[in-house]
Amino acid sequence: MPHLLLTILLALALALPAYAEVRELQWSDLVPPGAPPPPPPMAIHDLSQLADALAAEAGPGAAQQSPAEPVVEALDGVQVKLPGYIVPLDMSEEGRVIEFLLVPYFGACIHVPPPPSNQIVHATSELGVKVEQLYQPFWIEGPLRVEHSSSELAEAGYRMDAQKIYFYELD
Amino acid sequence: MFLLRLALASLNNRRFTALLTVFAIALSVCLLLAVERVRSEARASFASTISGTDLVVGARSGSVNLLLYSVFRIGNATNNIRWESFERFAEHPRVSWAIPISLGDSYRGYRVMGTSDAYFEHYRYGRKQPLQLAEGRAFAKDPFEVVLGAEVAEALRHKLDDQLVLAHGVATVSLVRHDDKPFRVVGILKRTGTPVDRTLHISLAGMEALHVDWQNGMPARGEARIDAEQARQLDLQPQQITAFLLGLNNRIATFTLQREINQHRGEPLLAILPGVALQELWSLMGTAEKALFVVSLFVVLTGLIGMLTAILTSLNERRREMAILRSVGARPWHIAGLLVLEAFSLALAGVLLGLALLYVAIAIAQGPLQSHYGLYLPMALPSAYEWMLLGSILLAGLVIGCVPAWRAYRQSLADGLSIRL
């Protein structure tokens, strides 16, 4: 019995220092002190400039549509209704779309340029409309306003204060 | 009226079962309303976070992903973009303003965002409301200045002129800290109810200064270290940012510019319309929302069926009660009315208790929800939709009450007074 006790004590005495010697490391301790400084990092996106350099060779990019297409002046101030898809721009707290672009076809087609400026109506709505699905067409009804391009920056286009917005249904 | 009194008195006689039934209905009503409220408030807080921004531009990834990390501070960017790309589109003739955003660091779990003065000037939330300072000012020339969101200042009890040490990465408990370059609080923003509240804003120069002496993905050692004072002397022009927000002169040009950015030759960029990306996010979440709603509807149904079981089981025990009622002149339709009223009172009590439970739960959970998830649940009265839900539950209670009523009606005719006791 005393032998056993002694053995256990001895084993403990041998084992204990191993536990006591846990060394807390900082991540910087993993790098040898005399290590040479790392080489300066390479510039980010270094090769991305290549595309610019090659652009001259590649010819012009996909043609952009004119931003200031001609508009039908006679429509200014006319009460109209127009079907189209709603592209939400701003929403109210309740998640109703209060400002949107009305376009003739549902987005996502990237094979052709986006619709020209005379194929977009920039509409606002006081009450807003709940848009559950982007591919649901709507009728919007209200007075159309034609904006003129007075300068290079301001673009011509149609605006509407939508008074009525309702589902477009096939009949 | 006397029927209602009788029904209530009868219920009072069996109050333990009745209370349990009411409680089951109350719990299910509370669950249904809570699901509905969390859903609508989550949508509202998402919808009111960004307003007036026409395009969000970042490294090419997915539209929802880009929206989440750049505006909602959820998830992380896939890559940074070059400063030249930002400059190019910030100076584009169709662009009215541009806000650069640089992310990646944090402070005790709150994200740090590097940006410019344009952020305080042009960023809009809710219904085109600008950001306002509650105290102090926006950051200025000195790179080591920070403007806190309202939630950060409140939760961590920071005041103006406090010194903060930002951490590398976005973990709550961070091991690698930029402790040689403390930041000074110069401003605290007013509460907005958006992720802005949980963000620390520093200048792009500050973001650059934090990482100026990092080499090969780790902080510099020994001689190579650059302290805050030295960093102030350096040229802190950023080379890269994470994303940027654009406002246009004319919103009709949105598609044109979006296409131009997406086809930019310099580097792969992605431009998204925040409203469209938000709509996509909602149609993703819509399925989960519907599933939750259906589950909670079924829980309400279970509660109501529990009520039905309780009333039906009690019918047998109450033959004597019915017989006595009949003997004192109650007609069969009185008996039926009694049971319908009983079911209705149980449902009504359940709905009222459920509402009370909901408000207690909101009162308790409001603080933690706001600080952990950024979701603000107001103590508002039920919305029209919620009233409609409650009304339908009451109606369902009435309809379900007709089942025992019909049985009692039949039984009371058959049993009459001839029942063997």
DSSP code per residue over B194-219: SGGGGEEEEEHHHHHHHTTT-BTTB-
Q: For residues B255 and B200, state if they share a domain.
A: yes
Chain A contact set for B219 (CB, 8 A): 28
Q: Is residue B75 part of a domain?
A: yes
Q: Is residue B317 part of a domain?
A: yes
Q: For residues B210 and B357, state if they share a domain.
A: no
Q: For residues B121 and B168, state if they share a domain.
A: yes
A153–B44 CB contact, under 8 Å = no
Q: For residues B42 and B68, state if they share a domain.
A: no
Non-local CB neighbours of A55 within 8 Å, separated by 6+ positions:
B265
Q: Which residue does chain B place closest to A110, by CA atoms? A: B259
B275–A90 CB contact, under 8 Å = yes
B283–A133 CB contact, under 8 Å = yes
Q: For residues B74 and B13, state if they share a domain.
A: no
ipTM of the complex: 0.72
Q: Where are the alpha helices (DSSP H) in chain A?
A: 2-20, 49-58
| pLDDT at position B394 | 93
Q: Is residue B421 part of a domain?
A: no
Q: For residues B374 and B325, state if they share a domain.
A: yes
State percent of chain B over pLDDT 90: 31
Q: Which residue does chain B place closest to A54, by CA atoms? A: B265
| Domain enclosing residue B291, as ranges | 2-46+285-415
Tell me if chain A has a CB within 8 Å of the CB of B256. Answer: yes
A88–B276 CB contact, under 8 Å = yes
A51–B258 CB contact, under 8 Å = no
Chain A contact set for B126 (CB, 8 A): 93
The count of domains in chain B is 2
Chain B contact set for A47 (CB, 8 A): none
| pLDDT at position A136 | 85
Nearest to B266 among A51, A62, A90 (CB): A51
- Look at the pTM and tell me if it is higher than 0.90: no
Q: Is residue B111 part of a domain?
A: yes
Distance from CA of B410 to the nearest CA of A (A): 49
Chain B contact set for A133 (CB, 8 A): 283
Chain A contact set for B266 (CB, 8 A): 48-49, 51-52
| pLDDT at position A171 | 66
Domain boundaries, chain A: 75-167
Chain A contact set for B46 (CB, 8 A): 95
Q: For residues B266 and B313, state if they share a domain.
A: no
B68: exposed, middle or buried (C-beta count within 10 Å: 0-12, 13-18, 19+)?
A: middle
Pairing of strands B240-241, B81-82: antiparallel
Q: For residues B300 and B264, state if they share a domain.
A: no
Q: For residues B41 and B67, state if they share a domain.
A: no
Q: For residues B185 and B125, state if they share a domain.
A: yes
* Among B224, B243, B272, residue at a domain's last position: B272
Nearest to A95 among B47, B265, B283 (CB): B47
Tell me if chain A has a CB within 8 Å of the CB of B279. Answer: yes
pLDDT (tens digit, 9 = 90+) per residue, B244-294?
A: 999 998 888 888 888 889 888 878 899 999 988 988 888 888 888 899 999
| pLDDT at position B301 | 92
Task: Please report, in angstroms and rounded to a whole number, the separation of the first and last CA atoms in chain B.
Answer: 30
| pLDDT at position A91 | 85
A44–B80 CB contact, under 8 Å = yes
Chain B contact set for A100 (CB, 8 A): 275
Nearest to A37 among B215, B255, B278 (CB): B215
Chain A contact set for B216 (CB, 8 A): 38, 41
| pLDDT at position A63 | 47
How many pairs of residues across A and B have Cβ atoms under 8 Å apart?
Answer: 126
Q: What is the pLDDT along chain A (171 residues), one digit of tens a residue?
A: 567 666 776 666 666 555 668 888 888 788 887 777 666 666 555 555 666 666 666 555 544 455 567 788 888 889 999 998 888 888 887 778 888 888 888 765 566 777 777 888 889 998 888 887 888 889 999 999 887 655 555 566 888 988 889 888 876
Tell me if chain A has a CB within 8 Å of the CB of B82. Answer: yes
Query: How many CA atoms within 13 Å lie on the side-chain side of B266?
Result: 15
Q: Which residue does chain A place closest to B84, by CA atoms? A: A49
Q: For residues B42 and B186, state if they share a domain.
A: no
B266–A64 CB contact, under 8 Å = no
Q: For residues B250 and B167, state if they share a domain.
A: yes
* B185-196 exposure pattern, b = at least 16 Cβ within 10 A, e = fewer: bbbbbebbbbbb
pLDDT (tens digit, 9 = 90+) per residue, B24-47?
A: 999 999 999 998 888 888 888 888
Phi, psi of B270, deg, nearest 5: -130, 125
B252–A45 CB contact, under 8 Å = no
Distance from CA of B126 to the nearest CA of A (A): 6
Domain A75-167, CATH: 2.40.50.870
Non-local CB neighbours of B64 within 8 Å, separated by 6+ positions:
B277, B280, B281, B284
A102: exposed, middle or buried (C-beta count within 10 Å: 0-12, 13-18, 19+)?
A: buried
Chain A contact set for B286 (CB, 8 A): 132
Residue numbers in chain B where pLDDT is lower than 50: 421
Distance from CA of A53 to the nearest CA of B (A): 9
